[in-house]
Amino acid sequence: MMKFIAFNVREDEEKYFAQWEKETGNEVLRLPEMLDMTSVEKTKGFDGVLALQTGTYPSEMFAEFKKFGVKVFSIRNVGVDNVDLDAAKENGIVVTNVPAYSPNAIAEFSVTQLMQLLRNTTIFRNKVAKQDFRWAPYVGRELRSLTVGVIGTGRIGRAAINIYRGFGAKVIAYDLYPNPELKEQGIYVDSYDELFSQADVITLHMPATPNDHHLVNSEILNKMKDGSYIINTARGALVDTKALISALKSGKLAGAALDTYENESDIFNHDLSGKKIDDPIFKELLALDNVLVTPHIAFYTETAVENMVLISLNSAKSVCEDGTASTIVK
């Protein structure tokens, strides 16, 4: 019997962990707390560690894993920008992820958020609450009349492209590693500059790397069409929030939907009811009626949650049994 320990376990994940234990006969200790240097001691005696958090995992924990006999670190999400892969390799710890838990969940959400921006639903919701039922001057826009620029054409980006095309929108894209099928269709432009200058909507579906930090900055925003939109369901670090706010206030951007924020780890997935948020930039975002802020929930569907739990568990099990898994992060 293998023994795993899982951190950051939510109530909605519990039934899938229990289901897997029953089906495989292995044991999973579930904890609601984060994985950091104060909790890493609890991994002693376990074959593998599972976690899911937006905050950075401490590099030092991999040396502790090695000392405690942990063989695999399995994260229940795609992105590994918060994992020190070099430290893991130095200590002989295999890292796995969940490459695709539900691309459609994120793609659908990104389109849903854009549709709300195009039809000014936040503004009208606030007006109706005040019993102001006038329409003007908040006329909407139709998606089929817009050009959507998709950055990142992996599984999520391709799912988004299919949905946008279903609405009749023109879609262009940029990716460092173009998809052969999409390339044949002539969908790609050659640079970020081309994409940002041609598109009415920019939707981000790419991982975050040091090279892409603040990809969306004041310089690139100035190249966008007046009255355009930014949708970010990818990583907060891709967007310079101060520059975004300036563009929104000036009218350069008509709206933005942010499911992720560059300083989100102390805010998202926490109950801060009645508490002071000591982040003036975030509070400024919330005050804008042409911004939709959601707490990193684009992935959050029943299908995705089940896949995230089961794939991460099966990956850890495979590494412990066979020394390999299809989800190992290289």
19-28 exposure pattern, b = at least 16 Cβ within 10 A, e = fewer: ebeeeeebeb
Mean pLDDT over residues 114-133, rounded?
96
- Show which residues are catalytic: 235, 264, 296
**What number is the average pLDDT over the span 267-277?**
93
pLDDT digits (tens, 9 = 90+) for 277-301: 999 999 999 999 999 999 999 999 9
Residue pair 195/228 in contact by the 8 Å Cβ criterion: no
Binned at pLDDT 50, 70 and 90, residue 314 comes out as very high
pLDDT value of position 304: 94
Q: Read off the pLDDT band of 131 (50, 70, 90).
A: very high
Sole residue written with tokens 């959601």: 294
Residues 6+ apart with CB under 8 A from 116: 122, 257, 292
Q: Where in the chain is the domain with CATH 3.40.50.720?
A: 3-101+302-322, 103-293
What pLDDT, on the 0 to 100 scale, is given for residue 328? 97
When comparing pLDDT for 54 and 326, which is higher?
A: 326
Report for 52-61, 268-277, 312-321: range of highest mean pLDDT:
312-321
CATH 3.40.630.30 fits 3-101+302-322, yes or no: no
Residues 249/276/237/141 CA torsion (nearest 10 deg): -40
To the nearest 10 degrees (0 to 180), the angle between helices 155-166 and 103-118 is 40
Identify the three-state secondary structure at position 5: strand
Q: Which residues pair with 151 in a beta bridge?
A: 174, 204
Fold (CATH) for 103-293: Rossmann fold (3.40.50)
